[in-house]
Amino acid sequence: MGRDDGAGRQVTVGSADDSETPILHIDMDAFFASVELLDRPDLRGLPVIIGHRDGRSVVTSATYEARKFGVGAAMPVSKALRLCPHAVVVPPNYAAYSHFSGEVMRIFSDVTPLVEQLSIDEAFLDVSGARRLLGSPAEIAALVRERVECETGLTCSVGVAASKFVAKMASTRAKPDGFLVVPKADTLAFLHPLPIRTLWGVGPSTEESLRRLGLATIGDIAEVPIAALRSAVGNAGANKLHDLALGLDPRSVETTRIEKSIGHEVTFHTDITDIGQLRVELLRLADKVAVRLRERHWVARTIGLKVRWTDFTTLSRSHTLPEPTSVGRRLHEEAVSLLDGLRPLRPVRLIGIRAEHLSPAGDGALLWDPDEDWREAENSVDAVRKRFGSSALAPASLLREPSGGAGGPRTAPFPDD
């Protein structure tokens, strides 16, 4: 199956039984940081952080040399520099990341049409139909790794397995710059020694609940009575975790990616305590989310609010609408209602809106359309913006300097968009 190479990786050396392992999970290594190093070879081997030194920027990516000091994505750059004071901070270049993502995905598509892109830097491939031309799954994995490095200068890690879940686990174990084949017959031998935190769906709170049952490994989850799991994490969570712990994952590679949610958030340079300012920022964010929904011809049934206090405590609240919408004013009203429910209001560091439970616009007739007037108005605004630019029109309350201190707040889509 694979061996520990002494550097904390588990990689395949020599031959492995890949006869029943048609699924590849390919993950680029420290993608954003690696792209930056293509133009800055002098920084190779050094701890590098992708982000901004100013304000409240968070770490977008970091080289493995920086990660050894505990630096991680989404960590405030200020904290990362306390952990690794000698790190080099490089501002992000999203145009370059998009370019290289396109190049990498093109290589994947050359191998097989069955590519499920998960994010800008990772994808699942089903290579069942490519064997006759390109060889076994392990040989295809080696070919992809070679092409990616030769054509882009970047490295990737590849997991090869019988299912998507195990392939993703394998690529994680092989990082950086390695590949691991998990033969179908060895699936449980691979999974069961791993700690429970490596299992999909196990975050800090779920891990704590499972540890209270005395569970430490994936094998423990597979062996514990399902009733005990249900008492700890609920019926749905217990069934999912139990199946995964047994290596059961029937999902196929889906070539059409349907977004599960669309969101935007803002991190303020200065904590905000004025409810009026927060409502204005929510209007700005709601407008951005609504525009993206309409561009993609989606409507959302659930509106989510994300708030992070000054002490980094993060709260999420959501509300499901009687009728789905892509109207910014409706998103704003629902988000403000959720915000008003958070009392007492503490200094706010970050706030965001997410549209969830998406479906194609026009699927089924509405029972009623309470937003008809606003819908027509926003469609007209879309037409003007399309012709004259995105800044041609905006709600009147947004026609002022952004709040949040000098330079305004830093806005971005939610990281998992």
- Considering the chain, what is the average pLDDT of its residues? 86
Q: 281 and 376, same structural domain? A: yes
> Whose CA is closest to 253, among 109, 154, 155?
109
Which region among 46-50, 220-224, 260-264 has the lowest average model confidence (pLDDT)? 260-264
| Local structure of 191: helix, strand or coil | helix
The answer to whether 331 and 283 have CB atoms below 8 angstroms apart is no
- 148 has a pLDDT exceeding 60: yes
Residue 237 domain-assigned? yes
Domain at 86, CATH number: 3.30.70.270
Domain boundary among 140, 162, 184: 184
Catalytically annotated residue among 65, 116, 122, 265: 122
Q: 206 and 73, same structural domain? A: no
Residue 162 domain-assigned? yes
- 8 has a pLDDT exceeding 80: no
Residue 158 domain-assigned? yes
Domain at 211, CATH number: 1.10.150.20
- CA-to-CA separations, 52 to 37, 68, 75, 176, 277, in angstroms, rounded: 16, 20, 12, 25, 25
Rounded CA-CA distance 355/358 in Å is: 7
Q: 301 and 213, same structural domain? A: no
Rounded CA-CA distance 140/255 in Å is: 19
The answer to whether 262 and 293 have CB atoms below 8 angstroms apart is yes
Q: 345 and 200, same structural domain? A: no
Residue 254 domain-assigned? no
Name, of 159-163, 268-272, 360-364, 390-394, the range with top average pLDDT.
Answer: 159-163
Residue 198 domain-assigned? yes
Task: Check whether 27 is labelled as a binding-site residue.
Answer: yes
Confidence of residue 359 (pLDDT cuts 50, 70, 90): confident
Verify whether residue 149 is a known catalytic residue.
Answer: no
Which region among 4-13, 14-23, 267-276, 408-417 has the lowest average model confidence (pLDDT)? 408-417
Domain at 295, CATH number: 3.30.1490.100
- 74 has a pLDDT exceeding 90: no
Confidence of residue 366 (pLDDT cuts 50, 70, 90): very low
pLDDT in tens, 111-130: 999 999 888 899 999 999 99
- 231 has a pLDDT exceeding 50: yes
Percent of the chain residues past pLDDT 70, beyond the cut: 83
Domain that holds residue 25: 16-184
Rounded CA-CA distance 31/125 in Å is: 19
Q: 297 and 180, same structural domain? A: no
Rounded CA-CA distance 56/312 in Å is: 12
Q: What's the rounded mean pLDDT across residues 66-82?
A: 92
Q: 373 and 347, same structural domain? A: yes
Angle at 374 between CA 370 and CA 378, to 5 degrees: 140
Q: At what angle do helices 31-39 and 94-111 cross, to 10 degrees?
A: 110
- 401 has a pLDDT exceeding 80: no
The answer to whether 289 and 262 have CB atoms below 8 angstroms apart is yes
| Local structure of 307: helix, strand or coil | strand
Confidence of residue 392 (pLDDT cuts 50, 70, 90): very low
pLDDT in tens, 330-352: 999 999 999 988 877 899 999 99
| Local structure of 358: helix, strand or coil | strand
Give the global pTM. 0.69
- 225 has a pLDDT exceeding 70: yes
- 410 has a pLDDT exceeding 50: no
Q: What's the rounded mean pLDDT across residues 206-213?
A: 91
- CA-to-CA separations, 276 to 60, 283, 284, 336, 405, in angstroms, rounded: 30, 11, 13, 10, 15
Q: 172 and 270, same structural domain? A: no
Residue 394 domain-assigned? yes
Task: Check whether 4 is labelled as a binding-site residue.
Answer: no
Q: What's the rounded mean pLDDT across residues 37-43?
A: 95
- 402 has a pLDDT exceeding 50: no
Residue with the bigger pLDDT between 137 and 1: it is 137
Q: 172 and 68, same structural domain? A: yes
Q: 196 and 180, same structural domain? A: no
What DSSP string runs through 12-81? --S----TT--EEEEEETTHHHHHHHHH-GGGTTS-EEES-SSTT-B--EE-HHHHTTT--TTSBHHHHH
Rounded CA-CA distance 209/201 in Å is: 13
Q: 217 and 77, same structural domain? A: no
The answer to whether 214 and 194 have CB atoms below 8 angstroms apart is no
pLDDT in tens, 254-312: 887 666 789 999 989 899 999 999 999 999 999 999 999 988 888 898 999 999 998 88
The pLDDT assigned to 386 comes to 57
Rounded CA-CA distance 369/361 in Å is: 13
Q: 378 and 267, same structural domain? A: yes
DSSP state of 217: B
Q: 154 and 26, same structural domain? A: yes
- 406 has a pLDDT exceeding 50: no
| Total number of domains in the chain | 3
> Whose CA is closest to 52, among 34, 77, 17?
77
- 365 has a pLDDT exceeding 80: no
| Local structure of 94: helix, strand or coil | helix
